[in-house]
């Protein structure tokens, strides 16, 4: 198994070979530049989610990163890169979580399941409207509807960082995971379009309970056409029909 310091050296070498600065890589990962510096010096562990995102950026596999051997230079044309492959903006994803919770997290019905769906519809509605990613988060098809990949690891970071508090409440006799925002979201760099889409999702769906919003999500084409436990393809939003299509609401 590769050591922390060898992994740090490998990430630094790949970054330099691609001609990226630490600032460039920090923007792609959605973190502050000092975090990249700490990663590359071995002072900070690279999480599994970050490892996956770094592999995407450098067009290598996670196995390549974790192997003791050198990552072989890729032959031109060997790997095809889809320019629209989502790349998680970790910082933006955290701010969207905080913003949604500020707006509706206090509602009794808004637990973890509802939050999953509000995040999903925010991301996919924005992509449908503007053909660009809001947070770049990936979502997997599970029985209860779309679920954001790596959600637990990200909220654990936020809890440790004093941004969130996790509590267990009771909703109609059943235990419910809830998240309480401890800081305000930072939306000063958001566009008006980003805020508008999220606000419309909150207005439209935040009064649904977990069972209703899960059932509602099952009618959305991206979920319907995906195989069980498969990552949901963003491009499938362009086959949506009313009432899921954002164009339904913008044309009213």
At 174, phi and psi to the nearest 5?
-120, 145
Residues 229, 234, 240, 243, CA torsion sign: positive
Band of residue 16 on the pLDDT scale cut at 50, 70, 90: confident
Band of residue 28 on the pLDDT scale cut at 50, 70, 90: confident
pLDDT tens digit sequence for 80-93 = 334 445 689 999 99
Band of residue 52 on the pLDDT scale cut at 50, 70, 90: confident
pLDDT tens digit sequence for 104-127 = 999 999 999 999 999 999 999 999
At 96, phi and psi to the nearest 5?
-65, -40
At 148, phi and psi to the nearest 5?
-70, 130
> Is 80 exceeded by the pLDDT of residue 35?
yes
pLDDT of residue 79: 33
Task: Determine the Cα–Cα distance for residues 88 and 75; give it in Å rounded to an integer.
Answer: 26
CB atoms within 10 A of CB 138: 21
Compute CA distances 23 → 36, 44, 69, 119, 214, whole Å.
8, 17, 27, 27, 39
Mean pLDDT of all residues in 59-68? 76
List the beta strands (DSSP E) in 163-229.
164-171, 174-181
pLDDT tens digit sequence for 170-199 = 999 989 999 999 999 999 999 999 999 999
List the beta strands (DSSP E) in the chain.
139-142, 145-148, 164-171, 174-181
Task: Tell me the domains of the chain and their CATH numbers.
Answer: 4-66 (1.10.260.40), 90-250 (no CATH)
């Amino acid at each position: 198994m590769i050591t922390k310091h060898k992994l740090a050296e490998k990430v630094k070498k790949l970054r330099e070979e691609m001609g990226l600065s630490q600032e460039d890589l920090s923007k792609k990962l959605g973190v502050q530049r000092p975090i990249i510096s700490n990663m590359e010096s071995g002072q900070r562990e690279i999480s599994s989610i970050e490892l996956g995102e770094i592999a995407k950026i450098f067009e290598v596999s996670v196995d390549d990163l974790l192997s003791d051997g050198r990552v072989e230079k890729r032959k031109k044309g060997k790997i095809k890169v889809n320019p629209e492959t989502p790349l998680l903006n970790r910082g933006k994803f955290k701010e969207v979580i905080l913003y949604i919770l500020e707006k509706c997290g206090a509602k009794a019905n808004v637990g973890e399941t509802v939050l999953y769906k509000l995040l999903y519809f925010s991301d996919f509605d924005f992509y449908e409207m503007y053909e660009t990613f809001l947070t770049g988060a990936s979502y997997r098809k599970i029985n209860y509807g779309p679920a954001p990949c790596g959600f637990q690891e990200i909220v654990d970071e936020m809890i440790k960082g004093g941004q969130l508090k996790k509590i267990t409440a009771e909703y109609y006799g059943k235990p419910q995971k809830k998240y309480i925002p401890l800081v305000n979201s930072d939306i000063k760099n958001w566009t008006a379009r980003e805020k508008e889409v999220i606000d419309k999702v909150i207005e439209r769906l935040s009064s649904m309970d977990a069972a209703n919003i899960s059932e509602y999500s099952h009618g959305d084409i991206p979920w319907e056409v995906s195989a069980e436990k498969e990552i949901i393809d963003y491009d499938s939003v362009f086959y949506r029909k009313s009432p899921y299509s954002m164009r339904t609401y913008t044309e009213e």
